[in-house]
Structure 1
Amino acid sequence: MAQFFTAGEIAKAAIEIESRGQEFYLRVAAKAKKPETQDFFKFFAGEEAKHRKLFEDLAKRLGPVELPAWSTNEEYAEYLAALLDSHALFSGEYAEKLMSEAEDEAAAVRMAMSFEKDTILFFNEMRELVPDAEKGFVQHCIDEERSHLRQLRGRLQRR
């Protein structure tokens, strides 16, 4: 049987995504040899911390708000669970392996790009689940994640 979510639980999942993203970026910054590379990844860690705070505030606003009726069918709940389970930073030992293998900057940037893409996908779904008054907030976060993806791609291309 599928797990059903409240809007607040979806926001808490977003908080966890941002927390893990911050942890990833800090780990990569600590491994980096060049100060410029350290600063690049520390910037993204700061962005993830900022987003985490925004989603913490959203979770408080949403509380136990129920999801729309269409979103609570078993198939959709399983889809949301699959999005979380397959997120680049939620795949358990595989994520740990990737992080430990991200020895060079290019590998770290590629993993970060995967993380950002997975986050955009989750936030796109989240936008459809929150009350109309919160959709603009989630869209703003999507736009910032898209900007991060473009910045990471630019970094990879300049190498």
Structure 2
Amino acid sequence: MAYFFKANDVAELAMRIEQKGQAFYLLAADAAEDPGAREFFEFFAQEEAKHEVFFRGLRDRMGDVEIPPGSDFEEYTRYVLALIDSHDVFNFDYTEAFKSGDFTFEEAVRAAMRFEKDTILVFTELKSMVPEADRKIVEECIEEERGHLKMLAAKLKG
């Protein structure tokens, strides 16, 4: 079975990941009782919104999709789709978890860490598919996601 990406599908996918991330962080902020926790999650929601704007611009100007040298297009496409399908943010409805009141701050941070790790992995692969001129900016987004992961981990440590 062949799968084919259109050029702007790559950036559209990244936008969806950022939108889902933003929604997660807004849910976490809304559920947070502690003002510091609320501010913490609101910061991450704003970061996801910034990334969405970047990927929207990329979508609007993208040329052909590229794949890593030596890769089989169909096989590589299946791999990228598997990464997307397994991304934590697409596989769990956090709305109910937050509404139930049983989702602790620590659980929210751990879920956010899974989200950030999955996003780093997906963006690392997407970087190789965008035009050379845009790879540096995608790498900057990856570095920001790595920074988010470090911040989240530090929050768990106290």
Structure-2-length-normalised TM-score: 0.91
Work out whether 1:41 is the aligned partner of 2:29.
no
Cα distance in 1 for partners of 2:82, 2:11 equals 16
For each residue in 1:59-90, what CA deviation from the matched residue of structure 2 results, as whole angstroms up to 9, or x when unmatched? 1110x523348556221111111011000111
Cα distance in 1 for partners of 2:113, 2:128 equals 23
- 5+ long unaligned stretches in structure 2: none
The one-letter code matched in structure 1 to 2:5 is F
Residue correspondences, number: 154
Residue 64 of structure 2: aligned partner:
65
Deviating above 6 A after TM superposition, structure 1's stretches of 4 or more consecutive aligned residues are none
Residue 96 of structure 1: aligned partner:
93
Residue 117 of structure 1: aligned partner:
117
Cα distance in 1 for partners of 2:95, 2:79 equals 24
Other structure's SS at 1:36 match: helix
Give the C-alpha shift of residue 141 in structure 1. Answer: 0.3
> Conserved in 2, the CA contact under 8 Å of 1:19 and 1:49?
yes
> Conserved in 1, the CA contact under 8 Å of 2:65 and 2:131?
no
Other structure's SS at 1:89 match: helix
The one-letter code matched in structure 2 to 1:13 is L
Cα distance in 1 for partners of 2:96, 2:143 equals 25
Other structure's SS at 2:88 match: coil
> Conserved in 2, the CA contact under 8 Å of 1:24 and 1:99?
no
The one-letter code matched in structure 1 to 2:60 is K
Identity value in percent: 44
- 5+ long unaligned stretches in structure 1: none
Cα distance in 1 for partners of 2:95, 2:117 equals 16
Give the C-alpha shift of residue 28 in structure 1. Answer: 0.7
- Structure 1 segment 3-18 matched on structure 2, within 5 A: 3-18=3-18
Structure-1-length-normalised TM-score: 0.90
The one-letter code matched in structure 2 to 1:67 is E
Superposed CA RMSD in Å reads: 1.8
Cα distance in 2 for partners of 1:110, 1:21 equals 13
Cα distance in 2 for partners of 1:22, 1:138 equals 18
Cα distance in 2 for partners of 1:131, 1:142 equals 16
